[in-house]
Structure 1
Amino acid sequence: MSSLSRTSGIRRPRLHSLWLAAALAAAGLAGASHADARTVRWARSVDAQTLDPMSANIGPTTAVAHQIYEPLVHRGYDGKLVPTLAVEWRNLAEDPTVWEVKLRQGVKFHDGSAFTADDVVFSFDRARSPTSDFRGLITSIESVTKVDAHTVRIKTKAPNPLLFENLTNIFMMSKAWAEANNAVQPQNIRERQENGATRNAMGTGAYQLVSREPDVRTVMRRFEGYWGRSQFPLEVSELILVPIQQDATRIAALLSGEVDAVHDVPVQDIARLQQSPGVKVNTGPENRVIFLGFNVGSAELKSSDIRGRNPFADRRVRAAINGAVNRDAITRVVMRGQGVPIGYVGTNFISGYSPEIAAVPRVDVAGANKALDEAGYPRRPDAGNTRFSVTLQCTNNRYVADENICQALVGMLGQIGIKANLVAKPAAQHFPELQREELDFFLVGWGIPTYDAEYVLTFMFHTRTASNGTWNGTRYSNPALDARMIALQTMPDVARRNAEIADLQRILKDETIYVPLHVQSISHAMRGGLQVPVHPDAQAWFKYFRFGTS
């Protein structure tokens, strides 16, 4: 087996009353019995956008997918790859562009059918199709072919030592089920279309779908035919996901015992929960950066009062905003210490991380005002002494203190004469608008499940194409840099690759296409003795979890 040895030279991780009653009644939980202590009611601020495991590359959606579906490998709580539906993988000595993969035998889908190489070939083809939001992870793949019932070969366009680092969210589906249920192609979530996998599922995971009510609840039950019954605790027999957007309602539900775990604890409630009898809080850093993005490509901004030109197309304007943001104040006051300020879109979990590039810019309001004057955006007495106005679009239920962060940013931007009109929306509305390039100025967060800087470059900075730049809502395009980003996928020389990543990151940091804010921490709260550790990717695999005594 050569699961990690191929990348040994690459840096790895270092590791109220009426309101509550109404919300719980809508979720079908009011008065729920706790006779079955193995049932876990899992509350999150946001629901999965879909059950289709390939249509939305968003954390809450993949978190649900990981309960029902499985990839060939997943990343354990120590950050290392764990064999899942693959048990062995190696480069062929005679051709380093070919990986031979041995599949786990005896695996069953939830309908009792056998998992085979045919399903793997189908799943990779599906993941590479135009409506898949994960195709950017596997653009280096040329073909996937069946050798026998439990062996496949993955051929890449050039040697790719990082291939398996990119497969942790490529889920395996039943070819027969997809063909029988109008799910051969991934759901086109940008266009609000649905298919047979949007509200239904058929995986090999530890939990099988019982029912799905979007934004209300999703019920999953332990799959008794699961291949890993002897390898994982599987102490949770029934899992009920309950989306509760309002922070106060979510925490009240935990304290009252109506839910057993809260995935995303609001920062203002951490200290109180730590003092609450029977409640445990686990906190840890997340492999995710929160940042601002600009529309740098349009001739003018739809949401601005400046006509005929686009302020954000001028790097001086973007740099001024970068210098006016007080990251320390945001993490210290707004987030109450649940974050670390950063100056680049990358974390110290990933290969390619550089403390020099991640250094936080000095707050310089005077310099920012001067830069805006030089860029030709003076203060206008007839417009309240502002330079220009623009809409700042934020989520209000996705990231730690997201709406509060944006409220603080409004004040900071006001100091340099930019009037930011805040619009905060649920993630289910915000992200499709971002992907359709409808936003001028926005907050977004980016997790890095491959633990490699190339993931950030090709998803967030690459020119928007069918396969790359799929989350680049800025309209930024630099074909010369695009080619260098793609070349990283098949660059086996580690020293040369790290040098290339560092150079690309320096160029892009100077461009200031994004304004990085911080690496956020995340807190889980639980009761009833349930033990829920924090994963750097903010994922949760309930098959691992146990019940303790507190």
Structure 2
Amino acid sequence: MIRHTLLAMMLAAGLMPAVVAQAETVRWARSADPATLDPHAVNTGTNFNLLHQVYEPLIIRLPDGKLQGAIATAWTLTTEPSVWEFKLRPGVKFHDGSLLTADDVVFSLKRAQAPTSQLKSLLSSVDTITKVDALTVRVKTKGPNLIFPNNLSNIFILSEAWAKANKSETAQDVASKTENFATRNENGTGPYTLVSREVDSRTVLKQFPQYWGRGQFPLEVTELVYLPIKSPATRVAALLSGEVDFLQDLPAQDVARLKADKSLRVTEGPENRSIFLGLNVGANELKYADVKGRNPLADPRVREAIGLAIDRDAIKTAVMRGLSIPSNIIAPRFVNGYEKAFAAYPKANVAQAKKLLAEAGYPNGFGITLHTPNDRYVNDEAISTAVSGFLGRIGIKTTVAARPIALHSTAINQADTDFYLFGWGVPTYDSAYIFDYLVHTRGKDGRGPTNATGYSNAEIDAKIVSLASESDQAKRDATIKSIWQTVQAERFYIALHDQVLNYASNPRLDIPVSPENTPFFKFVKVAKK
């Protein structure tokens, strides 16, 4: 609730000094709760959204796509083309009052490289991380990495002393469902500090009085109450009743009527995120299908048939209510390597899809389970239900199995799915991020952790690795294009669309839509009543 403290009464009673900042609490609703507070354990936007209020990386990406220093004030290539130097901001304090130094940055980056960290692929090009002095860190990559700073916008810095004192030196292993002290506690440098946390219910943050950014940012929101509300109808009802001040996951079906409501502010913009289907093309036999002894998804004709059966325009109209940009590539338009030619999608063609299935030896289709989240992307379960209907027209009997994103992402990270709906944002704004996580052979050199398709191509792997050390931008871009040409031809991912975001809030709040879908509340301005 946005509230005003009764300052006049307190001043009259002599309880406060003459100049007092206005207290503003914002109740912030989303569809899901972060899986953990450990800053290096999970690579999902849901986690980053909350953690960006509490922790800080060296560099952040602003809503306009530009990079801005957070803990770092400057980053430059040294005379050695494989060494990046980062100058740290002096006087930055952790929430326990201790000063941040280069030791904490070195420790945090190395912690993010650990096998249990889902962020390790972002640092796969790193050779060494060293402290130069108390406020200088150098990172040497295995070759000239032109975009290395872009990889750091979601790698948070935490206190080395705090982590070691609380036996949390290593990132939490969410796959094994183990916890450490950092799972439910924090010691960041961000503008807000943790007051309380009730998992899947309520997390309360308050402004950190010793935050280094005082006087540089508005910091008009003094308290945040994060409320995960799974049901879309319940989220909207909470907003309309005034129980919630800011709704980030706005159901597509409610956008038009909420825009017409004069008591609300609704803002819109494209998201840096693609929604797509992943297909297990590597298994000899599928675990979640009724075909035994072979894998229908391994046949390129079956994959092409699936792509032709899906009517992306119908999904945009009937499911997304116009709030999607149909596409045929799993890279949004913000990303280096995106091309309109790759994004051009085929129109649905049931007859041709049936013909391809018959040629592949499945004239009557087959049965398969489509795993989907039901609380992460805009209308995610409804999209999967629509896909099931489209595939039914060509004989592929698709059972939709919906689950929370925490379970869904764990299954993908463990490759325990054959056919799944997923979404992927690209915080680096570069195709290498997509290739490192989704295309490279799984588990090799720390890459491919989210590749549940079983796709493996040694030639493509070598090209992906080369992107982290190619100093010639034109050659690098040509390699990116050649990788995309192979990915598009192989069709182990079937792109559906890019999301369009809508935020709804009390009109006093000015929260611009970010392509990263990450609001920074230190920037938020609150109009006076």
Structure 1: give runs of 5+ residues left out of the alignment.
1-31, 380-386
From 18, 43, 46, the counterpart of 1:57: 43
Give the alignment's TM-score, normalised by structure 2: 0.95
Answering whether residue 400 of structure 2 is matched by residue 422 of structure 1, we say yes
| 2:8 match | none
In the TM superposition, residue 33 of structure 1 has moved relative to its aligned partner by: 8.8
| 1:252 match | 237
Structure 2 residue matching 1:357: 3-state secondary structure: helix
| 1:203 match | 188
| 1:547 match | 526
In the TM superposition, residue 34 of structure 1 has moved relative to its aligned partner by: 3.9
Q: Aligned AA for 1:79?
A: G
From 392, 406, 414, the counterpart of 1:436: 414
User: Are the counterparts in 2 of residues 389 and 418 from structure 1 also a CA contact under 8 Å?
Assistant: yes
| 1:451 match | 429
From 265, 268, 271, the counterpart of 1:286: 271
- Indicate how the Cα distance of structure 1 residues 124 and 77 shifts in structure 2: closer, same or farther if over 3 A, else same: same
From 254, 259, 268, the counterpart of 1:269: 254
CA distance in 2 between counterparts of 1:251 and 1:33 reads 17
Answering whether residue 463 of structure 2 is matched by residue 478 of structure 1, we say no
Answering whether residue 86 of structure 2 is matched by residue 101 of structure 1, we say yes
User: Are the counterparts in 2 of residues 264 and 523 from structure 1 also a CA contact under 8 Å?
Assistant: yes
CA distance in 2 between counterparts of 1:523 and 1:362 reads 27
| 2:67 match | 81
CA distance in 2 between counterparts of 1:290 and 1:365 reads 22
User: Are the counterparts in 1 of residues 2 and 24 from structure 2 also a CA contact under 8 Å?
Assistant: no
From 437, 462, 467, the counterpart of 2:440: 462
The one-character-per-residue Cα deviations of 1:134-175 (angstroms, maximum 9, x if unpaired) are 110111111111111111111111111111011101111100
CA distance in 1 between counterparts of 2:243 and 2:347 reads 46
User: Are the counterparts in 1 of residues 443 and 449 from structure 2 also a CA contact under 8 Å?
Assistant: yes
CA distance in 2 between counterparts of 1:76 and 1:402 reads 26
In the TM superposition, residue 528 of structure 1 has moved relative to its aligned partner by: 5.1
Q: Aligned AA for 2:192?
A: Y
Q: Aligned AA for 2:516?
A: D
- The Cα RMSD (Å) is 1.2
Give the alignment's TM-score, normalised by structure 1: 0.91
| 2:200 match | 215
| 1:48 match | 34
| 2:516 match | 537
In the TM superposition, residue 513 of structure 1 has moved relative to its aligned partner by: 0.5
Q: Aligned AA for 2:35?
A: Q
Q: Aligned AA for 2:53?
A: Q
From 146, 161, 174, the counterpart of 2:159: 174
| 2:20 match | none
Q: Aligned AA for 2:68?
A: V
From 139, 142, 163, the counterpart of 2:124: 139
Structure 1 residue matching 2:317: 3-state secondary structure: helix
CA distance in 1 between counterparts of 2:281 and 2:300 reads 9
The one-character-per-residue Cα deviations of 1:344-388 (angstroms, maximum 9, x if unpaired) are 111110111111111112322111110100001121xxxxxxx21
Q: Percent of counterpart pairs with the same letter?
A: 49
Q: Aligned AA for 2:38?
A: D
Superposition pairs for residues 133-532 of structure 1, below 5 Å? 133-379=118-364, 387-465=365-443, 467-527=446-506, 529-532=508-511
Structure 1 residue matching 2:193: 3-state secondary structure: strand
CA distance in 2 between counterparts of 1:304 and 1:148 reads 57
User: Are the counterparts in 2 of residues 260 and 528 from structure 1 also a CA contact under 8 Å?
Assistant: no
Structure 1 residue matching 2:153: 3-state secondary structure: coil
**Would you identify which runs of 4 or more consecutive aligned residues in structure 1 move more than 2 Å?**
32-37
CA distance in 2 between counterparts of 1:483 and 1:350 reads 21
Structure 1 residue matching 2:355: 3-state secondary structure: helix
In the TM superposition, residue 335 of structure 1 has moved relative to its aligned partner by: 0.2
- Indicate how the Cα distance of structure 1 residues 239 and 88 shifts in structure 2: closer, same or farther if over 3 A, else same: same
In the TM superposition, residue 549 of structure 1 has moved relative to its aligned partner by: 5.7
In the TM superposition, residue 519 of structure 1 has moved relative to its aligned partner by: 0.5
CA distance in 2 between counterparts of 1:157 and 1:323 reads 42
Structure 2: give runs of 5+ residues left out of the alignment.
6-22
Q: Aligned AA for 2:479?
A: E
Structure 1 residue matching 2:375: 3-state secondary structure: coil
CA distance in 2 between counterparts of 1:275 and 1:100 reads 50
